[in-house]
Copies of this chain bind each other. A is one copy, B any other.
Amino acid sequence: MGDIAVIGRSLASAENGERPLFHRIREDIIDGRLEAGTRLVVADLARRYDSSSNPVREALHQLQGEGFVVISQNRGARVRPVGEHFARDIYDIRALIEPYMIRWFTANATTAQISEMEKIQNEIEQLDGDHEAYRELNERFHSVSYAGHFNREAVDMEERYREILFMLNKRYQLTRGRWAECIQEHRGIVTAIKARDAEAAAAMTERHVHGACRHLIDHIRVARASEQAAK
């Protein structure tokens, strides 16, 4: 038995790519395969990822540093529980960072970048209710403006927050109303950037973030209310 297991593992680890364990766990958290609040037992994870305990422990600690995991003394790790509070806190911060980044982008964007944005926005508008595709394109739309920003620290932070909110939003459907608002706001951002009007772009971006925040929190409240009613 041991022999087979060993051979199996060596093949697996040879093939399971150079991708660090850390990233794989992180992705599984973000994509919801490891839900918020679930216990992360080291031995289980080691089996699951065809690895051993030490790498898992290190990955968990790093994820704790980044805020995706909570570890308590002698009690193990859990995926960070995220609720209404936390969502609002993060959106508040994004409402400060994003306008800041857009302001710089508006002043420094190349025409190629701007037309890239416009192209993605057009694709979004031709979408017909496909939420999955929307999320994908929306990510790309926004990442155009962040990718090249000089403030790497802000970029990293923004990316972390986007990932966390991504995993939260995945649970809920975009309402028709919010969908329309998003398109309006995106258009506003694009036209402001084309006009090189940094303040307008910033203002519209702030509105966009606040709208997303309200939308998510409404969903969370509705979900909790119906949960309560079920009892």
Residues of A within 8 A of B (CB): 20, 54, 57-59, 61-67, 73, 86, 89-90, 92-93, 96-97, 100, 150-154, 157
Chain B residue at smallest Cβ distance from A104: B92
Q: Which of A65, A96, A97, A100 has the most chain B CB within a 10 Å cutoff?
A: A65
A142 to B143: give the CA distance in the assembly, Å.
34
Instruction: Among B61, B66, B67, B92, point to the contact of A100 (Cβ < 8 A).
Output: B92
Q: A54-B54, A58-B58, A96-B97 are in contact. Are A153 and B65 (CB under 8 A)?
A: no
A93 to B100: give the CA distance in the assembly, Å.
9
Q: A57-B58, A58-B58 are in contact. Are A93 and B153 (CB under 8 A)?
A: yes
A154 to B151: give the CA distance in the assembly, Å.
18
Contacts of A67 in B (CB 8 A): 65
Contacts of A73 in B (CB 8 A): 20
Protomer copies:
2
B92-A154 in contact (CB<8A): yes
B54-A151 in contact (CB<8A): no
Instruction: Among B61, B90, B151, B154, point to the contact of A61 (Cβ < 8 A).
Output: B61
A157 to B54: give the CA distance in the assembly, Å.
28
A96 to B100: give the CA distance in the assembly, Å.
8
A58 to B66: give the CA distance in the assembly, Å.
14
Instruction: Among B65, B93, B153, B157, point to the contact of A151 (Cβ < 8 A).
Output: B93
Contacts of A66 in B (CB 8 A): 65-66
Q: A65-B66, A89-B150, A89-B151 are in contact. List 5 more A-B contacts (CB 8 A).
A: A20-B73, A58-B61, A66-B66, A90-B153, A96-B100
A154-B62 in contact (CB<8A): no
Instruction: Among B61, B86, B152, point to the contact of A62 (Cβ < 8 A).
Output: B61
A157-B93 in contact (CB<8A): yes
What's the least CB distance linking A160 to chain B, in Å? 10
Contacts of A92 in B (CB 8 A): 100, 151, 154
